[in-house]
Amino acid sequence: MANNNWNTALYESKHGFVWKYGEGLIELLAPQPGEYILDLGCGTGQLTAKIAATGAKVTGIDRSEEMIVKAKENYPQLNFAVADATNFTIEQPLDAVFSNAVVHWIKQPEAVINCIQQTLKPGGRFVAEFGGKGNVRQIVQALTETLANSGYDLSPQVNPWYFPSIGEYTSLLEKHGLEVTYAHLFDRPTPLESGDAGLANWLKMFAGNFLSGLSTEKEKRIIDRVITKLKLSLYCDGIWKVDYRRIKVVAIKL
């Protein structure tokens, strides 16, 4: 994942939708008892536990030490380890790599795909969901405009997200020896807690890179302006609906 220092309490208390939406992806994975499966970017372990409940032998990895500490606390009976998705190895060849809401945090997609390809058995599957082209477009626009209008210099690294098109991502999978059997780009308007706190918490949890280096006071000013802007388009009848666009993909190692 990106360089965020994850606030696991805020993640679990206010953003549980991240793994709740991921439950459908487990159906696409269709884990079988005894299969060796990796949960890549497991966060605090909720989906790892759901996969384990099917009888599969699952390991969860995440780049964030904070997330792995919490995952081990939540599910002490399961295997978790700190590892970087761009540079990991697994001894046991895998039947599947599963990944929910992680790929979009990593701006070196080929390094990730290469590691996945190397860990899968021939015939093994990669099943993932992540932000696709146009994901949270209005939030990105509001943040960049507000920061620029407030006099901040925006380098391209400030935006931590990689939101590819289906064409771009599936071409990378094919280039690295994975055959794409399913790919779907779809809108998934995502409700947040109501009131200003809903979007403020989302921005603090996920958009910290845009705000890093700002004093608490300046951060609050930027967040307030972004909320005012986005209320016009993303807030309706007391409910935030964030403009998520997802890609779901299944690819098989040849």
Summarize as ranges the residues that interact with ligand BEZ (CB under 6 A).
101, 104, 131, 135-136, 161, 206, 244
Q: Quickly tell me which residue has 């209008």 as its tokens.
A: 149
For residues 70 and 44, give the distance between their C-alpha atoms in angstroms, rounded to a whole number: 6
Q: How far is the CB of 57 from ligand BEZ (least distance, A)?
A: 27
**In the complex with ligand BEZ, which residue's Cβ is closer, 4 or 117?**
4
Q: Nearer Cβ to ligand BEZ, position 45 or 131?
A: 131
| 57-62: strand order across its sheet | 79-82, 57-62, 36-40, 94-100, 120-131, 245-253, 178-187
How far CA 50 is from CA of 36, 159, 205, 226, in Å, comes to 14, 32, 24, 36
Query: Distance (Å, rounded) from C-alpha 29 to C-alpha 206?
Result: 26
For the bound state, the minimum distance from the C-beta of residue 206 to ligand BEZ, rounded and expressed in Å, comes to 4
Q: Closer CB to ligand BEZ, residue 56 or residue 199?
A: 199
User: Smallest gap, in angstroms, from Cβ of residue 34 to ligand BEZ?
Assistant: 31
Report the residue number, 123 or 156, with the smaller CB distance to ligand BEZ: 156
Closest approach, Cβ 83 to ligand BEZ, in A, equals 20
How far is CA 53 from each of CA 16, 24, 62, rounded to the nearest angstrom?
19, 15, 20
Residue closer to ligand BEZ by CB (options 97, 101) is 101
Which residue's Cβ lies closest to ligand BEZ? 131
Angle at 67 between CA 61 and CA 72, to 5 degrees: 75
Q: How far is the CB of 23 from ligand BEZ (least distance, A)?
A: 14
